[in-house]
Amino acid sequence: MKIAVLGAATTKFGELWHISPRDLVKEAVSEALDQSGCSRSQIEAIFVGNMLSGVLGGQENLGAFFAEELNLPVSAMKVEGACASGGLAVHAGVMAITSSLYQTILVVGVEKMTDHKPEEVAKSLMGAGSDVERQAGATFPGLYALMARAHMKKYGTTEKDMASVAVKNHYHASLNSHAQFTRPITLEQVLTSSIVASPLKLLDCSPISDGAAAVVLSKNKKQKTKNKKQVYITASVVATDSLGLAERQDLTTIDAAVRAAKKAYKMAGITPGDIDVAEVHDCFTIAEIIAMEDLGFFKKGKAAASIREGKTTLGGRPVINTSGGLKACGHPVGATGVKQIVEIYKQLKGTAGKKQVKGAKIGLTHNVGGSGATAVIHILRRD
Amino acid sequence: MYNVGILGYGIYIPRYRIRIDDIAAVWGKNAADIKKSLGVSEKAIASLDEDAVTLAYEAAISALKHADISSSSVEVCMVGSESHPYAVNPTSTIVAEFLGVGRNYLACDLEFACKAATSGMIAIFGLISSGKASIGLCIGTDSAQAKPHDVLEYTAAGGAAAFILGKETDCLAKIVDFASFTSDTPDFWRRDGVRFPSHGGRFTGEPAYFAHIEGSAKHLLHKLKLAPSDFAYCIFHMPNGKFPREVARRLGFSEKQLSPSLIVDKIGNPFSASSLLGLAAVLDQARANQLIFMASYGSGAGSDSFVFEVNKNIEKRRNLVPTFSTFMKNKQYVSYVDYLKYRGKI
Amino acid sequence: MLSPVKIWRNQKKIQKLLNLHGRILSWTKIYVPPLGFESQAPYVIVVVALDSGINYTAQLVDWEEKHLVIGQAVKTVLRRTRDPGEEGVIPYGIKFKPL
């Protein structure tokens, strides 16, 4: 597989009350298109990653909605897979190009969450889980808390281990001008923040955010480019598992991510050790620890210590979540999967600024829907 | 005509308790005075997620196990309560569905303040006696509500008792006879759409509780030519600790005959389940050939009196399901604020 | 308002899950509830491995702190679940109670 990423951009993530979804998308798309060097008429299809437009905003038919906004009346559709909507939209774009039906396409991920009360948002997000979980009064922090406690019991993972993930990601975010949170935090601050769903505290949880991200993908590489580095997607894999936690085999792992990653490494012809930099789905701190194990970067039960020791912080390898991850960069649900591609693109192009991983050649994105029902893995490399 | 008896029974008392001391403290009342005048010290309260349906279900599943009868053989299901969750939509069908009763059965919801369930017992008796049904389920259930600061707040409790009735063979106690005494007396009532009941204060005593219980009791004893001394036990509806003791004394029953039934001393007044819970507590210790006297009371007003004769089969049915003593061991005290939360008042 | 048809269809599944025993696989105490569960918070939810072979997720009721451990034996009970609001049909469902 060799799909060229011609352009990639995100808006700032955060509580952007004054910016509408239309304007968020326009901003991200125009920057991505500028970078790509493509003319608007070259875009043959638009894939929109989004989860909550209908349940929160009353708006469906999002493909047509943004096609109109962008004045691109081409093939357009919404792709949804809860928090993996963005990654799935990228995957849909990859499938479109691989099919030869389209040559150059646009993927945009967007979410507007801060217009609504947190309780309403929490309830809508539970659309990603099972009905039994909704009837139990579960929330996403609750579901990941259940996984955290099982991981703590099985591997001795501590609250401090989880807190160090938050500290690392806030540090990285302080170097990211697009991040929602711009200041570093301390372990103490995380450990003393209020409990949301035991043992997860406020600072263990990603925030509610608005934002958009866009990428231009093509069969053809860029013709004229000052920056000689060309970035390609060399693997795009989706795997699914049960909607509900109860039906999983093991509460301490996201098996869909394990399976998708194995297939992706094979597709790209690499091993986990080849990954220099990765954006993983840290919707909650425990999720990053589990992801390190699921992706094969560390053995089961060993990731926590390595993270605490700084092995995945800037300067280490693999460097995880230079954008600040979902935790500190923000998590506008449908945009996250696309933003992850943007971050890796910048790392491989060498345009990541203060958070640049030196000599990054191969990167990975890990985007999860629900508590692990959907997992999308992309591998990117540069020439 | 068939003789009818109790084939099994089951009860359910919710876990949480609140002490009269803690309620009195909130309203600045003297707890000792209240405990003395009402004769109660603590009451059982249902959780926010419990209601007359869930309480009835727990009691009924226990009764079916006790009687060793499958739910599919139940042909009549009657549920009496003052706190049916719906004004229109029967509790009896919801409970029966969860029990797995099947489709060929009669379901009926009853209301007559605290005597709704005993009315059901009489109705089911009629169906079985006439040969129209073989097995009937009668449940008294309430997650009682009381207005904060009202005197009722000290006694209104939650609980349920379920009885499986059938033909005399294999029963553990036969229903010998019953009699009712009824009038239109507005001592305690709740208008449709209003959350908490209202009552006539002292008017709930002589003209209501005492007049009707004495009326039905004397009528039944006279009919059967029996005297209080013929009975091993007596049970009266227990709105508080004082009234049943007083009416027992007036009718000529002794403290010894009455005390095994006094569940009010431990859990307060669970309305429609009150006298039936007293009956269950008595049956837990009653022995073959003993006679039991029971009189329920429902405001509005009426009293149903019963005479039961215990059968030796009762010995085969000991310790099969949780009894009143079991539930007494499983309790947790809550504060007044938690009580308000659990009863949905805040 | 919750759909009465969905509640009706769901309640058939619930009858089969009553009075079953199992053990806690994991638990959490929810302090920040979703819409409709505000009056109940904080509450505990558990994933339980039922003796029958399947797992189930539901609230834990009538518990004390000592029961909040992985491995605690529990049984299924019938309780009210989601808030039906002023007018809706009341949904009943499964919750767990420590043994």
* Burial class of residue B67 in the structure, from the number of CB atoms within 10 Å of its CB (0-12 exposed, 13-18 middle, 19+ buried): buried
Per-residue pLDDT of chain A in tens (383 residues, 90 and over written 9): 999 999 999 999 999 999 999 999 999 999 999 999 999 999 999 999 999 999 999 999 999 999 999 999 999 999 999 999 999 999 999 999 999 999 999 999 999 999 999 889 999 999 999 999 999 999 999 999 999 999 999 999 999 999 999 999 999 999 999 999 999 999 999 999 999 999 999 999 999 999 999 999 999 887 666 777 899 999 999 999 999 999 999 999 999 999 999 999 999 999 999 999 999 999 999 999 999 999 999 999 999 999 999 999 999 999 999 999 999 999 999 999 999 999 999 999 999 999 999 999 999 999 999 999 999 999 999 98
pLDDT digits (tens, 9 = 90+) for A166-211: 999 999 999 999 999 999 999 999 999 999 999 999 999 999 999 9
pLDDT digits (tens, 9 = 90+) for B245-275: 999 999 999 999 999 999 999 999 999 999 9
Task: From A252, B337, B143, B342, select the one nearest C43 (Cα to Cα).
Answer: B342
| B147 pLDDT tier (thresholds 50, 70, 90) | confident
Tokens representing A344? 């890796």
Domain(s) labelled CATH 3.40.47.10 in chain B stretch across: 4-172+317-342, 175-314
B contact test, residue of C79, C87, C96 with most B CBs within 10 A: C79
The CA distance from C87 to the nearest CA of chain A, in Å, is 18
The CATH architecture to which B4-172+317-342 belongs is 3-Layer(aba) Sandwich (3.40)
**Which residues of B are annotated as catalytic?**
82, 114, 237
- Verify whether the Cβ–Cβ distance C37 to A195 is below 8 Å: no
Say how far apart CA A300 and CA A151 lie, in whole Å. Answer: 10
Q: Are B233 and B261 in contact (CB under 8 A)?
A: yes
Contacts of A195 in chain C (CB under 8 A): 29, 31
Among the partner-chain residues C19, C64, C80, the one whose CB lies closest to the CB of B49 is C80
What is the residue-averaged pLDDT of chain C?
94
| B64 pLDDT tier (thresholds 50, 70, 90) | very high
Mean local confidence (pLDDT), C20-29: 98
Question: If you measure CA to CA, which chain C residue comes closest to A252?
Answer: C26
Question: Does residue B148 carry a pLDDT above 90?
Answer: no
Residue-range domain boundaries for chain A? 3-117+209-218, 138-207+233-382
Buried b (16+ CB within 10 A) or exposed e, B307-331: bbbbbebbeebeeebbbbeebeeee
- Verify whether the Cβ–Cβ distance C28 to A146 is below 8 Å: yes
Q: Which single residue is written with the structure tokens 């000592």?
A: C66
pLDDT of residue B256: 97
Sequence-distant (≥ 6) Cβ neighbours of residue B256 within 8 angstroms: none
Q: Do chains B and A touch (3 or more CB pairs under 8 A)?
A: no
Question: If you measure CA to CA, which chain C residue comes closest to A138?
Answer: C45
Contacts of C65 in chain B (CB under 8 A): none
Question: Does residue C11 carry a pLDDT above 90?
Answer: no
Contacts of C11 in chain B (CB under 8 A): 97-98
How many Cβ pairs closer than 8 A exist between chain B and C? 48
Say how far apart CA A86 and CA A369 lie, in whole Å. Answer: 10
Report the complex ipTM. Answer: 0.94
Question: If you measure CA to CA, which chain B residue comes closest to C83?
Answer: B49
Output the 3-class SS for B251-273. Answer: HCCCHHHHHHHCCHHHHCECHHH
| B155 pLDDT tier (thresholds 50, 70, 90) | very high
- The reported pTM is 0.92
| C59 pLDDT tier (thresholds 50, 70, 90) | very high
Question: Does residue B304 carry a pLDDT above 80?
Answer: yes
Contacts of C55 in chain A (CB under 8 A): 246-247
**Which residues of A are annotated as catalytic?**
83, 331
A contact test, residue of C10, C14, C17, C47 with most A CBs within 10 A: C47
Question: Does residue B144 carry a pLDDT above 90?
Answer: no
pLDDT of residue B345: 75
- Verify whether the Cβ–Cβ distance A142 to C40 is below 8 Å: no
Mean local confidence (pLDDT), B7-18: 97
**Which is it for the CA torsion A348, A352, A357, A358, positive or negative?**
positive
Q: What one-letter code names the amino acid at C62?
A: D
Q: CATH topology for A3-117+209-218? A: Peroxisomal Thiolase; Chain A, domain 1 (3.40.47)
Among the partner-chain residues B54, B89, B341, the one whose CB lies closest to the CB of C80 is B54
3-state secondary structure of A10: strand
Q: Are C52 and C20 in contact (CB under 8 A)?
A: yes
pLDDT digits (tens, 9 = 90+) for A52-77: 999 999 999 999 999 999 999 999 99
Say whether residue C15 is in contact with chain B using an 8 A CB cutoff: yes
Q: Are A129 and A139 in contact (CB under 8 A)?
A: no
Q: CATH topology for A138-207+233-382? A: Peroxisomal Thiolase; Chain A, domain 1 (3.40.47)
With a pLDDT cut of 90, the percent of chain B lying above it is: 90
Q: Are A258 and A372 in contact (CB under 8 A)?
A: no
- Verify whether the Cβ–Cβ distance C62 to B47 is below 8 Å: yes
Interface of C with B in 26-65 (CB under 8 A): 39-40, 59, 61-62, 64
Query: Are β-strands B16-19 and B42-45 bridged in parallel, bridged antiparallel, or unpaired?
Result: antiparallel
Question: Does residue B7 carry a pLDDT above 90?
Answer: yes
- Verify whether the Cβ–Cβ distance B48 to C39 is below 8 Å: yes
pLDDT of residue B44: 96
Mean local confidence (pLDDT), B281-310: 97
Contacts of C64 in chain B (CB under 8 A): 332
Q: What one-letter code names the amino acid at A344?
A: I
Domain spanning B175-314: which CATH class is it, in words?
alpha beta
A contact test, residue of C2, C26, C89, C92 with most A CBs within 10 A: C26
Domains for chain C: give ranges and CATH numbers.
Answer: 4-98 (2.40.50.840)
Mean local confidence (pLDDT), B226-236: 98
